[in-house]
Structure 1
Amino acid sequence: MPIDIETFESSGEDRLTAGGETNAERVMHFLATNPDKAFTQSEIRDSTGVKAGSISVVLSRLEDRDLVRHKGNYWALGSSDDIAAYADTLESTRAANDRFGEEDMDEWLEHAVEDEDHE
């Protein structure tokens, strides 16, 4: 699918490289294509290409968001309602990034208002 030249110019190479999914997206995609199975961390790691040092953190964060379930040594896709909300948020974020470009955190922080109550 083609992209507009503004997106081409403003996006980093990692965003424009095929397979530029995040580790969480890779894990979610893998589990979503196997919703009737549960896998060990090593099976998920081997199937997604997520590095050994990252897979535990990725799965834990997904579990904190109720996107995956965990019992013993096994991990499975979370509930359908949570997955639908995740997919909607992901698609909305991608659409906004495609239309307006990705946010630059350093630029955002330059204009952020400091909260005096939390200093």
Structure 2
Amino acid sequence: MPVDFERYHPSDLPDEDTNGRQILEFLAGHPELGFRASELAEELDIPRGSVGTTLRRLEQRGLVRHKGTYWAINVEAYDAHTASEIGLQTVADQFNGDYYGQNPNWDSDLPYFDAEQADE
């Protein structure tokens, strides 16, 4: 699907339903704590080998940081924009399957107003 190239801003977040997203959301829920990779693997039921690789990728994006063997969310990088993306996805997940989700053409009969009409 084509996008408006000037308005398109790809997300810094990993795609949903990925190990990276799970780890990032978990760490964001505990911003003051650091976790070992083994603790994250156990807590999130992700294979231990995948956690280390995923954490390094998240670190390259600046989303997590580590001290020794402990990993934490990079609060500075995890700004309001990133938080709002997760919040919007949570809302979308919550209302998935509602009337609007089941009726993709719900807006087809709405009147169209362009910018010039709005100024009148």
Unaligned runs of 5+ in 1: 1-19, 99-119
SS at structure 1 position matched to 2:35: coil
1:57 paired with 2:50, answer no
SS at structure 2 position matched to 1:83: coil
Cα distance in 2, alignment partners of residues 29 and 69 from structure 1: 14
Amino acid of the structure 1 residue aligned with 2:53: V
Cα distance in 1, alignment partners of residues 28 and 89 from structure 2: 19
Amino acid of the structure 1 residue aligned with 2:26: F
Pairwise CA RMSD: 2.6
1:74 paired with 2:70, answer yes
Amino acid of the structure 2 residue aligned with 1:44: L
Aligned residues: 77
Query: Structure 1 length normalisation: TM-score?
Result: 0.53
Cα distance in 2, alignment partners of residues 86 and 28 from structure 1: 11
Cα distance in 2, alignment partners of residues 65 and 83 from structure 1: 11
Larger helix percent? 1
Deviation of 1:91 (Å): 7.1
SS at structure 1 position matched to 2:71: strand
User: Relative CO higher for 1 or 2, CA cutoff 8 Å, sep ≥ 6?
Assistant: 1
Q: What does residue 46 of structure 1 align with?
A: 42
Deviation of 1:26 (Å): 0.5
Amino acid of the structure 1 residue aligned with 2:60: D
Q: What does residue 7 of structure 1 align with?
A: none
Q: What does residue 78 of structure 2 align with?
A: 83
Query: Structure 2 length normalisation: TM-score?
Result: 0.53
Q: What aligned pairs does 1:1-119 form with structure 2 within 5 A after superposition?
A: 21-80=17-76, 82-84=77-79, 85-87=81-83
Identity fraction in percent: 36
Say if 1:64 and 1:92 are closer, same or farther in 2 by CA, change over 3 A. Answer: farther
